[in-house]
Amino acid sequence: MFNAHKTLIAAATLTLAGFCATPLAAESPAAAELVLLGVAGGPTWYGDASPHGISSAVLVNGRAYIVDLGSGAYRQLRRAGVKPGTEQAVFLTHLHTDHIIDLANLLMYDPSARRRAKASMQIYGPGRRGVLPPLAPGMKDDVVVHAENPSAGTRDLVESVVAGMSADLNIRVRSEGVPDIRQFFKAHDIAVPAGVVKDPNTDPAPPMEPFPVWQDERVKVSAILVPHGLVYPNFAYRFDTAAGSVVFSGDTAVSENLIKLARGADVLVHEAIDPAWVDHIVGAKPWDARQQALAHQLLEAHTTPQEVGEVATRAGVGTLVLSHLVPGDAPAEHWLQARRTFQGPVVLGQDLLRLPLRGQPKP
């Protein structure tokens, strides 16, 4: 049932009517473009036809701004025509492994090309959670992984990747004259505005205003907290460029904060979970308490296609793009339920799909 990738691709191509889905050509100097590098959600292998893990890029005037680094993201960046050293910044929505597993590739590869390009890539993402979530009802074993720092943030993550590769890095700088890769990137924990969150275990994404994370001559990036089960901090991002705006939901349940962030955006890239798949993995009904808890846990952390359409309608966005598809091999018609609740163009995400950002210049 969930192995219909060819159908999905065919339908995705059909949904592109009205868009310039360009091949992998280099962008024109004034272009601002969304590229989906990978559209599968979850740390799961969906079979040989699986899309790559979740990752997207906004390309503006020859620079790449990357959102999340799921499985295969590094290779997909190169296939999309992004050259080593042109990655301006990375924005991690949250630290679930399906969003960061390709970070090591991006940090370690192409050191000589990065030196020639005088690269300086900034990596932004959540800081430390600060407090562990409580044990679920009925659980007894209080297992803590890496008790010295059990809720590592983005800076911790980048430092530990470099530390874990020290044997290789120190050999290469000595024997081959390969540059010290640490000069090519810098990690930053995004500070959540003071006073917004009282307790991440009870309300990890309370109502708030979007806040600025990045600004340069090409793009302004702002963030807001969105709810994703027990994950905290967990961000959605908005990119405003002279050519148009695009919002990435990250992983989220239906979120008033996300609707606020996405208000009037040209493109909304939103995650989706297929409720038929939840039924499939939870098992035959009637559900016992454990099964009900599992279904609730999946559905409360994500958004169904029909709900995604409602979100897009309420936010008043121009075009809706579905990405972070869970599962990665569901039939296209399941995702396109979003068309029942959103009247604008709905694009079913696929790897290496490109969309120009159109729209009115933003102040």
Would you tell me which residues interact with Zn ion (CB under 5 A)?
41, 96, 98, 251
Look at residues 85, 34, 63 and name the one whose alpha carbon lies nearest to residue 216. 63
In the complex, what is the shortest distance from the CB of residue 273 to Zn ion, in angstroms, rounded to a whole number? 10
User: Distance between CA 35 and CA 37 in Å, rounded?
Assistant: 6
In this structure, are residues 328 and 40 in contact, taking their beta carbons and an 8 Å threshold?
yes
Shortest spacing between CB 289 and Zn ion, in angstroms: 24
- Closest CB to Zn ion among 96 and 114? 96
**Closer to Zn ion at the Cβ: 110 or 251?**
251
Nearest residue (CB) to Zn ion, 98 versus 110: 98
If you search the block for the tokens 């280099």, which residue do you land on? 26
Smaller CB separation from Zn ion, 38 or 84: 38
The residue (of 301 and 353) whose beta carbon lies closer to Zn ion is 301
CB of 324 to Zn ion, least distance (A): 6
How far is residue 57 CA from its own chain's centroid?
Answer: 9
> What are the distances in angstroms from CA 123 to CA 16, 66, 87, 88, 154?
32, 9, 10, 9, 8
Nearest distance from residue 133's CB to Zn ion, in Å?
14
Cβ nearer to Zn ion, comparing 71 with 241: 71
CA-wise closest residue to 324 among 342, 344, 348: 348
For the chain, how far is it from start to end, CA to CA, in angstroms? 47
Instruction: State in angstroms the smallest separation of the CB of 126 from Zn ion.
Output: 11
Nearer to Zn ion, 37 or 243 (CB): 37
Distance in Å, CB of 220 to Zn ion, minimum: 25
Q: Vertex 319, ends 50 and 28: CA angle to 5°?
A: 80
**Backbone φ, ψ for residue 300 (5° rounding):** -80, -15
CB of 26 to Zn ion, least distance (A): 30
- Per the structure block, which two tokens stand in for 257? 């904060």
Beta bridge pairs of residue 65 = 58, 89
**The token pair that represents 218 in the structure block:** 């090409």
Q: Which is nearer to Zn ion, 60 or 226 (CB)?
A: 226
Residue 74 has which token pair?
């590094």
Nearest distance from C-beta of residue 54 to Zn ion, angstroms: 6
Query: For the CA atoms of 307, 309, 315, 317, what is the dihedral angle to 10 degrees?
Result: 160
Q: What's the longest Cα–Cα distance across the chain?
A: 64
